[in-house]
Amino acid sequence: MKAKINGNTLELITGDITQFSTDVMVNAANGTLMGGGGVDGAIHRAAGEELLEECKAVRNNQLHGDLLPTGEAIMTRGYNLPAKYVIHTVGPVWGEHSGEEAALLAKCYSHSLLLSFEKNMKRISFPSISTGVYGYPVEKASIVAIQTIGEFLKSNEFGKVTMVLFSREDYETYVAALEEYLSEWNK
């Protein structure tokens, strides 16, 4: 499904994000930046060892050995991925942020979009952040993602945002959220 928002395109597809050609691929990372399971592990495996080495350098030099905070984002090169860059963002673990999960998840999307925009990148692809092992319910996450992306696109000349969803069920959930967002926007 595709939607036009302020001359920008928001597209929803199913597939493997590591195979999707784009300027910037968003990684649903953990705070260590060292890879892991799900999307994070898949992106690290597909990108190759150089990505892990750059993440180690970022963690040592920019984060001074600390974890990347939930909701924040950093950019690395894409190496063997079909993307020039990877934005690593740490989504919230469902039920562990005193009711601030939605605000933190929105920050993941908005910080990633802003970082991409500042680097003049025109195409960005997102997975469904926090809906895997972090347990964020897909229906709730889809609403936050679509609203955050939609509001950003309303205010900026960006280009194309693609949500690359792993399953058909996730795709259908995001389609429903996008249809609801568009119907509210067009009122």
Question: Which residues carry out catalysis?
Answer: 40
User: Helix (H, G, I), strand (E, B), or coil: what is residue 24?
Assistant: strand
C-alpha torsion angle, residues 158, 117, 103, 135 (rounded to 10): 90
* Segments in the chain forming alpha helices (H): 38-47, 49-61, 101-118, 138-155, 168-185
**Dihedral sign, CA of 148, 151, 152, 153?**
positive
